[in-house]
Structure 1
Amino acid sequence: MKTPIKAVLQRRPGVVLATVAILAGGILAGCGSDGADSDGDVAATLIIKTQGTSYFQRMAEGAEASAKELGVDLTVAAGKVDGDEDTQIQAIENAISRGDQGIIITPNGPSVVDALARAKDAGLYVVALDTVPDPADDVDITYATDNYRAGQLIGEWTAVKLDGDDAVIALLDLFDDKVLTVDYERNQGFLDGMGIDLNDPEVNGDEDPQGTYTGGQGGSYEIVGNQASEGTEDGGRTAAETLLSKNPDINVIYGINEPAAYGGFQALEAAGRSDGLITVAIDGACDGVNYVEEGTLQATAQQFPKIMAEKGVEAVHALATGGEKPQPEEGEEFVNTGTEIVAAEALPGVESVSVEDGLATCF
């Protein structure tokens, strides 16, 4: 997730702009259907985590396209950085003050989820994207990747790729000062997919640091440690350097996303330790798929943010106009928008798509 989006997302041509504001470095802009005015029947706000990634750019594009089709007056806001709760909370308060019918959001943390309760109390429909809030019923519906399953898939692929070799693993997580479901679900899913026994599946770093993995041909493993990367290339590089100082024999890097994984690869390459390195990640951004093509990453689990956002706008429109509330499959807390492994090398027993196919659906 590297490509920056515009500082302000512009309204579609021919659309009257109701409000444009800058939220302490975040973004706020309106969009809607051609010919619609600011007094449309349904108004909603999309609040993304940050304006600085292609992932959320794709999400905003999907929401804007759906809003245009349905005639929804859409406002788009963003945190200054991933993890910025204050700006998102202000955007929630603004949506309540404007009288929006709905909020579609990728929450940056627990305080944001608390603020969503005020929106629901004010009568707004709340749809989460990308990450299931904890608890899930703090929102009306969530559209998301099954992050645990995405982690499992990339873990299964990694175990097969190891072909019975010992695994010395560096885990480049998201944060170490807050707990987000996306962080532990991807991490724990990856370890589970490799066939490493978990302790608490909602806690990163409490597994046995050494043991055996049962995925693929099976073998011995050592977890060198968990380090926060903040989902950035620089953060991934620093995290990997820290872990490399603990054990120079790292041969597997798991990254919460592709920038973190790429930064980790750079650290090992600079140390002359990249030969035979298996570097994997989750997201499926175009940069990440290109990293797979060039061999910097060996595989990534691709998700589909555009579909999430389209479904989110559709859900708010349906709820606000008396339609049926969307429901996840029985036993699930969210509607799964899918994931698939993109790899240059097809491995036996692990489903994947080619780099060419990944580039056709990347963001």
Structure 2
Amino acid sequence: MRLKFGFHAPSLALVAIAMLSSSAFAADEAVKVGLVTRTDSNPFFVKLREDAQAYAKTAGAEIVAITGKTHDDAAGQVAAIEDLTALGVKGILVTPSDAEALNDAIAKARAAGILVIALDGRVSPDSAVDATFATDNLQAGVLQGQWVRAALGDTAPRVALVDGTRGTVSTRERHDGFLKGFGLQEGAPEIIAQQNISNQAEAQTALENFFQKDPTINAVYTVYEPAAVSAHAVTSALGLAGKVAIGSIDGSCDGIKAVADGQVGATVVQFPGKMAELGVQAVVDYAKTGAKPSGFIDSGAVLVTDKPFEGITSQDSAWGLKNCW
């Protein structure tokens, strides 16, 4: 059953919506920008939406924001794109929950003259959207992997991998980047445990199982910071605090505080505000001039740690607290 305006009640939570004028765009008319994020339970997506809304006010735009229930709510995102297409927004910004599941809905939106931009993660193929504004997740993974390997020194690595939602490009790229930065091949014997998770509760359970089966694990890759905090909690409970190198990716203020407190060894900061600003401005420019962005635009990634190593560029947690989200 659909709610008014056609949104699917089981899959989506309506954050903000406005009726669209059927008139052509005018100079004094707000540009309608659809924003489809994965979930409201992750501070990253909350920050991205808040910054998009704030920037829209200064850019002559209005955000129509919708969020899915979970990180892997691809069906909900498809429904959102379809409904935004029917509403006639000028552009759609989407943080894809799946690399390919949204492609048909995106193609229909683009055929209707709507600019579609992926934020935070890629779709496959990249050409399915007009452009992608995101962290270079492969490089973010490389930075984490380099630091975790350096933190082990001469100790033989025994690595656990906490990966993200299965099927997303960002999950694969961060994973591959970590292995590259660490110097491991897929399936290497040094990889003791591995699991895909979609929330912190799953991460906590996975990590508890990892260390119960093998308490000799000495390095943990985490796809995002809530999982890294869980890794600290699990290792602390087992008396292993300070004996396991824990790295992550995100750049939330809570994550940076965890680095400052010594719970997490290092994290890689992303910039959701920059993604949001670039995306909104691109839609506004398209509405006014017809110009479209193309390709992949890197929004940046910076390693933050209070335990730096020579040859690995990083900033400290004081810098991180000034630049976190």
Given the two structures, how large is their TM-score scaled by the length of structure 1? Answer: 0.81
Q: Which amino acid aligns with 1:141?
A: A
| Aligned residue type for 1:27 | L
Q: Are 1:81 and 2:60 counterparts?
A: no
Q: Summarize deviations over 1:153-200 as a string: whole Å, max 9, x none.
A: 11111122211211110000013xx41111111011011001223xxx
Which one of the candidate residues 265, 278, 288 is aligned to 2:255? 288
Deviation track 1:72-127 (CA, whole Å, cap 9, x = no partner) reads: 12211100111112222222122111111110110112322332112112221101
For 2:41 and 2:208, how far apart are their aligned partners in 1?
Answer: 25
The SS at the match of 1:264 is: helix
Inter-CA distance 320–121: structure 2 relative to 1 (3 Å threshold): same
1:252 equivalent to 2:214? Answer no
Partner Cα distance (1:113, 1:27) in 2:
22
Distance in structure 1 (CA, Å) of the matches to 2:214 and 2:221: 15
CA distance in 2, matches of 1:302, 1:153: 10
C-alpha root-mean-square deviation of aligned residues, in Å?
Answer: 2.3
Question: In structure 2, which of residues 185, 189, 196 is the aligned counterpart of residue 228 of structure 1?
Answer: 196
Residues in 2 aligned to 1:271 and 1:60: alpha-carbon distance in whole angstroms: 38
Could you say if the C-alpha distance between residues 323 and 96 of structure 1 is closer, same or farther in structure 2, counting changes exceeding 3 Å?
closer
Task: Report the AA paired with residue 96 of structure 2.
Answer: P
- For 1:39-83, what per-residue CA distance to the aligned partner results, in whole angstroms no more than 9, with x for missing partners? 935211111111112211211122112211121122111001111
Deviation at 1:145, TM superposition (A): 0.2
Q: Is the 8 A contact 1:237 1:265 kept in 2?
A: no
Give the structure 1 partner of residue 37 of structure 2: 48
Residue 338 of structure 1 aligns with which residue? 300
Q: Show the counterpart of 1:170.
A: 160
One-letter code aligned to 2:285? A
| Contiguous gaps of at least 5 residues in structure 1 | 1-18, 32-36, 198-206, 211-221, 328-332
Question: In structure 1, how many angstroms separate the alpha carbons of the residues matched to 2:240 and 2:278?
Answer: 44
Pairwise CA distance, 1:236: 1.3
Partner of 1:202: none
Q: What TM-score comes out, normalization by structure 2 length?
A: 0.90
Find the aligned partners of 1:112 and 1:21 in 2 and give their Cα distance.
16
Pairing 1:153–2:143 present = yes
CA distance in 1, matches of 2:139, 2:219: 19
Please give the alpha-carbon distance, in whole angstroms, between the structure 1 residues aligned to 2:319 and 2:52: 23
Closer/same/farther in 2, CA of residues 292 and 107 from structure 1, 3 Å limit:
same
Of 310, 319, 325, 1:348 maps to 310
Contact 1:167 1:252 in 2 (8 A): yes
Question: Aligned match of 1:68 in 57, 61, 65?
Answer: 57
**Match for residue 189 of structure 1 among 164, 177, 188:** 177
Q: Which residue pairs with 1:317 in the alignment?
A: 284
Q: Alignment partner of 1:167: what SS?
A: coil
Choose which of 84, 103, 106 in structure 2 pairs with 1:116: 106
Asked if residue 208 in structure 1 is aligned to residue 198 in structure 2, the reply is no
Matching residue's letter, 2:68: G
Asked if the contact 2:8–2:79 (Cα under 8 Å) also holds between the matched residues in 1, the reply is no
Q: Identify unmatched segments of 5+ residues in structure 2.
A: 19-25
**What code does the residue aligned with 2:172 have?**
Y
| C-alpha displacement of 1:209 | 2.5
Q: Secondary structure at the match of 1:321?
A: helix
Percent identity (aligned): 35
Residue 95 of structure 2 corresponds to residue 106 of structure 1: yes
**Over residues 9-68 of structure 1, what are the superposed CA-to-partner deviations in whole Å (9 max), with x where a residue is unaligned?**
xxxxxxxxxx8989545133148xxxxx9x935211111111112211211122112211
SS at match of 1:225: strand
Q: Which residue of 1 aligns with 2:232?
A: 265
Question: Quick check: which one's helix share is greater?
Answer: 2
* 1:295 to partner: Cα distance: 0.8
Supply the distance in 1 between the matched residues of 2:40 and 2:267 (Cα, whole angstroms): 22
The equivalent of 1:97 in structure 2 is 86
| Pair 1:304 & 2:271 matched | yes
Asked if 1 retains the 8 angstrom alpha-carbon contact of 2:7 and 2:80, the reply is: no
Cα distance in structure 2, aligned partners of 1:208 and 1:111: 27
AA at the equivalent of 2:14: I
